[in-house]
Structure formats: C-alpha cells, structure tokens
C-alpha cells in the first residue's frame, strides 16, 4: 500500500494533467511551459516520469513530485497552489471512498 504522501503526489499530478488537457500534445506543451529553463525533450521526459513512471529496471515507479515543480505547474495553470493542493487532498479521500475525482 502506498503511503499518503505518495497518494497525494499522484493525485496532484493527475489533477494537474486533467486541467492541462490530457492529450499527449497538450501535456508536452504544458511541460515545456512548466520547465521553460530546460530543453523541450527534457521537459517532456520529466512530465512523462511524473505521469507514467520509469521504464526498464525501475518500471512502474514514478518520479516523486518536488514542491517547486508543483508551484511551477500551478503558475502555468494560473491556479493558486493552495487550491490545487486542497483538490488533490480531497481526491485522495474520494478515491478511498470509491468516488470520482474532482
């Protein structure tokens, strides 16, 4: 069973991905905006590690969410970080109850 922090991180990433517009091309554009200081390929790799996880030996493990990256994501979405955090926390609770996320 995952620890609460990991569940929260996954819920936050899933929420942000939904708000960014779920398609692969929209996700890539979002990643480039979030990590504008990296080249496009590295930005896209970073979002894929957060959403899909590693391949090969570490398959199935997703990269942990860094607070600074969460703040960048919130800025790109033009949403307060606290609002997104609250929604992600609620989504963890809703998942435990078998309900659809916000």
Per-residue pLDDT of the chain (102 residues; tens, 9 = 90+): 457 889 999 999 999 999 998 788 899 999 999 999 999 999 999 999 998 887 766 666 788 999 999 999 999 999 999 999 999 999 999 999 999 998
Count CB atoms within 10 A of the CB of residue 55. 10
Q: Does 101 reside within a domain?
A: no
Rounded to whole angstroms, how far apart are CA atoms 70 and 60?
Answer: 21
Counting the structural domains of the chain, the total is: 1
| Domain extent at residue 17 | 4-96
Q: Does 17 reside within a domain?
A: yes
- Helix crossing, 81-96 with 4-20: angle to 10°? 120
Amino acid 55: pLDDT? 72
Q: Does 102 reside within a domain?
A: no
Burial class (CB in 10 A: 0-12, 13-18, 19+), 92: middle
* pTM reported for the whole predicted model: 0.88
């Amino acid at each position: 069973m995952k620890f609460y922090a990991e569940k929260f991180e996954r819920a936050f990433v899933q929420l942000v991905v939904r708000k960014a517009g779920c398609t692969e091309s929209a996700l890539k554009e979002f990643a480039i905006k979030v990590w504008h200081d990296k080249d496009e390929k590295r930005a896209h790799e970073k979002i894929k590690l957060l959403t899909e996880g590693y391949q090969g030996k570490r398959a199935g493990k997703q990269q942990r969410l860094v607070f600074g990256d969460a703040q960048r994501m919130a800025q790109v979405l033009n949403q307060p970080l606290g609002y997104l955090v609250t929604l992600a926390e609620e989504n963890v609770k809703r998942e435990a109850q078998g309900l659809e996320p916000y």
